[in-house]
C-alpha cells in the first residue's frame, strides 16, 4: 500500500518460505534440521528487509534473534545471530547515527546474552527432567517405563526386520539377607555396584534396566537365545567372582527368552520371568532358558 515493492516482495517470500517449511515439518516430522533451516531462512529475510528499508526495520533484529533460541540449540542460535549482526553492520554504519548504533548494538548484545542464558537453562532442565522420567535414580539404569518403551520398539523391529532379540531377567540371590545383615545402605551399594559391573560388560547396543527392588532386565539386541545365554552366563560368573560385599559372596539368577514372532510385550516378559524363577527354584546362581 505504501509502494515499497521490494519490501513487499521480501515479506511475501518470508511468508511463503515459512509456510513451506512448516508443511515440510508436518509431513516428515523432521524438526531438528528443519529448525536450523527455518532460523537461517527468516534471519536472512530480516537482514534483507533491514537493507531494503535503509535500516528503518533494524528493530526487527530483536524478535528474530530471540526466536532463534526457541528453534535451535543455544550455541547454534548464538552463532546464527552473531553472523546476522555482523551482516547488519554496513547498513547501520551507513544509515544510523553513531550514538544510536552503539545503543542498538549494546541492546542486541544484551538481548542475545539473556536469550542464551534462558535457553541454556531450559535445555539443562529438559535434560534433567528426561533423566528423571526414564532413569532409576539409585543405579542410573533405565527404569520400568523406559524398559516397556524399548520392548515395544524391539518387538516392532523384530516383526519388520526379523532381527533376533533376547531378554535377560536377573535377580540378586538372597538380597533380603544382605539387607538384614549389613543394612539397607550397604544393600543400595550392592545394587549400584552390580549395575556398574553389568554395564561394563554389556555391548553397545544392549540396554540395562532396573525393574524394581533387586530385579534387573537386559535387552540383548541382535542376539538369539544361544548368544543371550552365553552373555547371561558370563554375567553370572562375573558377579560370582566379584566382591560386591566384603566377607559375603553375592550371586545372581537369570532367565533368558528370545522374542518369537507370536510374542507381544507381555508374553515375552513372562517367558523370561518364568525362566528366572525356574533358575531360583533349582538352587539359584544359575541361568535357565525359556521353554
Contacts of the segment 261-268: beta carbons below 8 A, 24+ positions apart = 261/158, 261/159, 263/155, 264/155, 265/148, 265/151, 265/152, 265/155, 268/151, 268/155, 268/167
Catalytic residue among 153, 189, 214, 234: 214
DSSP conformational letter for 169:
E
3-state secondary structure (DSSP) of residue 210:
strand
E strand segments, 184-280: 207-212, 215-220, 252-258
**214 labelled catalytic:** yes
Burial (CB < 10 A; 0-12, 13-18, 19+), residue 253, is: buried
104 near 58, Cβ under 8 Å?
A: yes
155 near 263, Cβ under 8 Å?
A: yes
- Spatial separation of the C-alpha atoms in residues 197 and 199, rounded to whole Å: 6
| Residue 162: other Cβ atoms inside 10 A | 8
74-95 and 61-71 helices cross at what angle (nearest 10)? 170
Nine-digit cell string for 155? 518387538
- Spatial separation of the C-alpha atoms in residues 10 and 60, rounded to whole Å: 14
Nearby residues of 6 by Cβ (< 8 Å), 6 or more positions away: 52
User: Which residues participate in catalysis according to the annotation?
Assistant: 214
Amino acid at each position: 500500500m505504501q509502494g515499497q515493492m521490494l519490501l513487499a516482495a521480501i515479506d511475501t517470500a518470508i511468508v511463503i518460505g515459512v509456510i513451506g517449511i512448516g508443511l515440510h515439518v508436518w509431513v516428515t516430522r523432521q524438526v531438528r534440521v528443519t529448525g536450523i533451516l527455518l532460523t537461517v531462512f527468516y534471519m536472512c529475510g530480516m537482514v534483507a528487509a533491514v537493507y531494503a528499508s535503509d535500516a528503518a526495520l533494524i528493530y526487527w533484529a530483536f524478535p528474530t534473534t530471540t526466536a532463534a533460541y526457541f528453534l535451535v540449540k543455544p550455541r547454534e542460535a548464538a552463532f546464527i545471530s552473531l553472523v546476522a549482526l555482523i551482516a547488519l553492520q554496513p547498513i547501520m554504519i551507513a544509515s544510523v547515527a553513531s550514538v544510536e548504533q552503539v545503543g542498538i548494538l549494546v541492546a542486541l548484545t544484551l538481548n542475545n546474552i539473556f536469550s542464551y542464558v534462558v535457553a541454556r537453562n531450559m535445555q539443562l532442565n529438559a535434560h534433567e527432567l528426561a533423566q528423571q522420567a526414564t532413569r532409576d535414580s539409585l543405579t542410573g539404569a533405565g527404569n520400568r517405563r523406559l524398559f516397556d518403551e524399548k520392548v515395544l520398539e524391539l518387538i516392532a523391529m523384530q516383526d519388520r526386520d526379523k532381527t533376533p532379540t533376547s531378554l535377560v531377567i536377573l535377580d540378586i540371590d538372597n538380597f533380603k539377607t544382605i539387607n538384614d545383615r549389613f543394612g539397607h545402605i550397604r544393600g543400595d551399594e550392592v545394587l549400584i555396584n552390580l549395575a556398574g559391573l553389568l554395564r561394563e560388560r554389556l555391548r553397545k547396543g544392549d540396554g540395562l534396566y532396573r525393574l524394581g527392588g533387586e530385579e534387573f532386565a537386559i535387552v540383548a539386541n541382535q542376539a538369539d537365545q544361544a548368544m543371550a545365554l552365553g552373555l547371561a552366563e558370563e554375567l553370572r560368573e562375573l558377579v560370582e567372582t566379584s566382591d560386591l560385599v566384603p566377607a559375603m559372596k553375592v550371586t545372581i539368577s537369570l532367565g533368558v527368552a528370545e522374542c518369537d514372532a507370536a510374542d507381544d510385550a507381555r508374553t515375552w516378559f513372562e517367558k523370561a520371568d518364568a525362566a528366572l524363577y525356574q533358575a531360583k527354584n533349582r538352587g539359584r546362581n544359575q541361568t535357565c532358558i525359556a521353554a
